[in-house]
Amino acid sequence: MILSKTTEYALNVLSFMATRNKEMYPAEYLYKELKIPRQYLRRLLTDLSRKGFITSIRGRNGGFVFSRDLSSINFAQVIEAMEGQEAMKTCLLGFTACIIDHPCVMHDLWTEARSKMIETLTNTSLADLKNKYEMDKDTIAQLNNSLIH
Amino acid sequence: MILSKTTEYALNVLSFMATRNKEMYPAEYLYKELKIPRQYLRRLLTDLSRKGFITSIRGRNGGFVFSRDLSSINFAQVIEAMEGQEAMKTCLLGFTACIIDHPCVMHDLWTEARSKMIETLTNTSLADLKNKYEMDKDTIAQLNNSLIH
DNA sequence: TTAAATTACTACAAAAAGGTAGCATTTATA
DNA sequence: TATAAATGCTACCTTTTTGTAGTAATTTAA
């Protein structure tokens, strides 16, 4: 039920980057916006670039950008990359071995719930998130407008 | 997506106890069956008894027994007791703060998946698990029978 | 009534996760 | 070409989680 802090940070960073329209995201900027511990964040960013989600650009005016299209990155991929492949493949509750002694009695009890969750995580891309974010912004802007005028 | 090892152990122990029909479960017996580190298991058992799931009986012939009816213990309760109340109340993915800056864009993206999961965990009791276990056993026994005769 | 079988408690050790500091390297631009 | 602004890397520190050891207390039964 709980992702590691590091995975949460990863989702935070990528979600943030996906919803802003900057050309470049230097670590220092992300640090100020997201308040993730500075050095830890930098390691995480390097890690995310090794994992192929973002690309690092060194030197002055450098920073990080997405290395592929937002629509090709979904939440399940990010979680899997951070937590390890097992995390999404095995029982959602993370049973490393089956509880009882023969083919895990638990598994099919929540197969449905489990697949629903994985489905959502797999079907939701950063592009979807971005769209949702902009729609929300518009709705709020219209609301403010109608209140003021 | 990942429960702590300790919570997994707790679910293992309780599921095991729920599906066997012993009068008493001494720590040493559970240790041999489940291979959870001996001393750690003992602490966990004490903890589970403090939390009201099982009762400890000290002295010779002692051990642990359920302190209430199996049908009154569901998985959500166990997880919540082990991981803390927040675990089940907040976002299933464990976001401590919202990802973006205004009312969490993520949340409603998987509200449905989330409630499905919680629903299953809440609606499945140890009694359900036990029933399922015995039905499975019967099915296998019948299958073996039909193959032999 | 003493020994054996059990849980309770406490203190410590090891491993994993999270966090920090500082220097090396790269690159754009003044 | 020197400097500033960026990432890369390595080594270390702190906290949390997991695991171990040993002794005290309790209870049954020989």
User: Is there contact between A55 and strand C, defined as CB under 7 Å from any strand atom?
Assistant: no
- pLDDT average, residue stretch B70-74: 96
Q: Positive or negative CA dihedral for B21, B27, B28, B32?
A: positive
**Confidence category of residue B99, pLDDT binned at 50, 70, 90:** very low
Cα angle A67, A72, A74 (rounded to 5 degrees) comes to: 110
User: What's the mean per-residue pLDDT of chain B?
Assistant: 83
CATH number at residue A110: 1.10.10.10
Q: What is the pLDDT of residue A99?
A: 46
Candidate from A1, A19, A109 with C-beta closest to B3: A1
SS3 A41: helix
Looking at the structure of chain A, the number of domains it has is: 1
Instruction: Please answer yes or no on whether B136 and A79 come within 8 Å at the CB atom.
Output: no
Q: What is the pLDDT of residue A142?
A: 75
Q: What is the mean pLDDT of each successive set of 10 residues along chain A, which is 149 residues long?
A: 84 92 96 95 98 97 97 93 77 48 55 73 90 78 67
Q: What is the pLDDT of residue A103?
A: 46
Nearest CA to CA, how far is B99 from chain A (Å)? 5
Q: What is the pLDDT of residue B113?
A: 65
Q: What is the pLDDT of residue A91?
A: 52
Give the span between the Cα atoms of B15 and B75, in whole angstroms.
10
Instruction: Please tell me the least confidently modeled range out of A61-65, A119-123, B135-139, B145-149.
Output: B145-149
Q: Please, are residues B94 and B37 in contact by the beta-carbon 8 Å criterion?
A: no
Give the span between the Cα atoms of B120 and B136, in whole angstroms.
20
Nearest CA to CA, how far is B108 from chain A (Å)? 10
- pLDDT average, residue stretch B95-113: 54
In DSSP terms, which residues pair with B2 in a beta bridge?
A2
Instruction: Please answer yes or no on whether A1 and B83 come within 8 Å at the CB atom.
Output: yes
User: Is there contact between A103 and strand C, defined as CB under 7 Å from any strand atom?
Assistant: no
Q: Which of A62, A32, A65 is nearest to A48 (CA)?
A: A65
Give the span between the Cα atoms of B68 and B78, in whole angstroms.
13
Q: Which of A108, A74, A90 is nearest to B133 (CA)?
A: A108
Widest distance between CA atoms in chain A = 68
Q: What is the pLDDT of residue B97?
A: 47
The protein residue nearest nucleotide D20, judged by CA to C1', is B39
User: Is there contact between B40 and strand D, defined as CB under 7 Å from any strand atom?
Assistant: yes
Name the residue range of residue B17's domain: 5-148
Higher pLDDT, B146 or B35: B35
pLDDT at B103 over 50: no
Residue A106 CB burial class (10 angstroms; 0-12, 13-18, ≥19): buried
Q: What is the pLDDT of residue A147?
A: 61
Q: Please, are residues A120 and B89 in contact by the beta-carbon 8 Å criterion?
A: no
Residues of chain A neighbouring B128 (CB-CB closer than 8 A): 109
Q: At what angle do helices B5-19 and B38-50 cross, to 10 degrees?
A: 80
User: Is there contact between B63 and strand C, defined as CB under 7 Å from any strand atom?
Assistant: yes
